[in-house]
């Protein structure tokens, strides 16, 4: 399915995952990320980050989350979201397995953990969600931004084959909303809503 790369389809949650034998190695993955212009000097990307953070902060306010220590899970080679929040006077740290692996989370966990355009890179989603859970405090908010597959119209493999989002070779996990909720629940989160079709909120129990 989907050209030269092999994918597996889950008939229960309707998500699609790249076969382990097709997943790029770490060096290939790292080089791909370094090609991105995900910096604050890129006005389009800054606007994108602002929109994401506005949605996250609005949801945090709506659930009564007052204090704000933010942990950006998967910040990439340039921690643009961290820098943006620091401009706003918000305490933030960025962690990334390839570029900032030694960054610790906050003692006791962050109030908010962000995961923007990262979950689709999880070669082991269960492990990824466990990492998110460990990064946020009890009662804290987890905000995941990722493109999701449709789930209401049965088999979505035809949609997937022509979907632009799968063209990036580092995108290996493609979820439905239901799959995100199942993974989050198994990690210890509960569903808390969404903002538009691509930002999903969970609260650590």
Distance of CA 113 to the CA centre of its chain: 10
**In angstroms, rounded to a whole number, what is the distance separating the alpha carbons of residues 133 and 180?**
13
**In angstroms, rounded to a whole number, what is the distance separating the alpha carbons of residues 49 and 21?**
33
Q: Where are the alpha helices (DSSP H) in the chain?
A: 26-34, 43-62, 80-87, 125-135, 157-161, 177-187
pLDDT tens for 4-63 read: 789 998 888 889 999 999 999 999 999 988 888 889 999 999 999 999 999 999 999 999
For the chain, list the domains and their CATH numbers: 7-204 (3.40.50.150)
Average of per-residue pLDDT values in the chain: 93
Q: Terminal CA-to-CA distance of the chain, rounded, Å?
A: 38
Name the pTM for this structure.
Answer: 0.93
């Amino acid at each position: 399915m989907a050209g030269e790369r092999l994918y597996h389809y889950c008939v229960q949650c309707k998500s699609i995952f790249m076969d382990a034998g097709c997943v790029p190695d770490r060096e290939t993955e790292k080089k791909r990320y370094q090609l991105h212009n995900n910096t604050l000097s890129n006005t389009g990307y800054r606007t994108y980050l602002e929109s994401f953070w506005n949605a996250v902060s609005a949801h945090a306010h709506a659930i009564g989350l007052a204090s704000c220590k933010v942990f950006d899970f998967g910040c990439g080679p340039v921690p643009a979201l961290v820098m943006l929040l620091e401009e706003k006077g918000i305490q933030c740290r960025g962690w990334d397995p390839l570029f900032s692996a030694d960054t610790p989370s906050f003692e006791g966990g962050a109030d908010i953990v962000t995961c923007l355009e990262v979950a689709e890179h999880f070669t082991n989603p269960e492990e990824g969600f466990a990492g998110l859970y460990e990064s946020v405090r009890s009662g804290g908010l987890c905000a995941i931004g990722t493109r999701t597959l449709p789930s209401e119209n049965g088999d979505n493999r035809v949609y997937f084959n022509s979907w632009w989002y799968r063209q990036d070779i580092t995108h290996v996990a493609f979820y439905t909303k239901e799959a995100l909720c199942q993974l989050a629940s198994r990690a210890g989160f509960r569903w808390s809503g969404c903002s538009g079709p691509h930002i999903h909120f969970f609260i650590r129990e």
